Structure 1
Amino acid sequence: MSVDYSEWKFGINNAGFLGSISNFTQILSTAIGNGIIGWLLNYVKYEPNVTQTNSTLTGLKLTISIIPAIIFALGLVIHLWDLDQNKHKKIISDLQIYYEKKNS
Structure 2
Amino acid sequence: MIIVYISIALVVLALIYLGVSSIRTYKKSQPVLHDLQETANRLQKQTESIQNETTRLSATQEKIMSDVEYKKKTVQETIEIAKETPETLKSFKEFIPSKKQERAAHRVRG
Q: Same fold (TM over 0.5)?
A: no
Question: TM-score if structure 2 supplies the norm length?
Answer: 0.36
Question: TM-score if structure 1 supplies the norm length?
Answer: 0.38
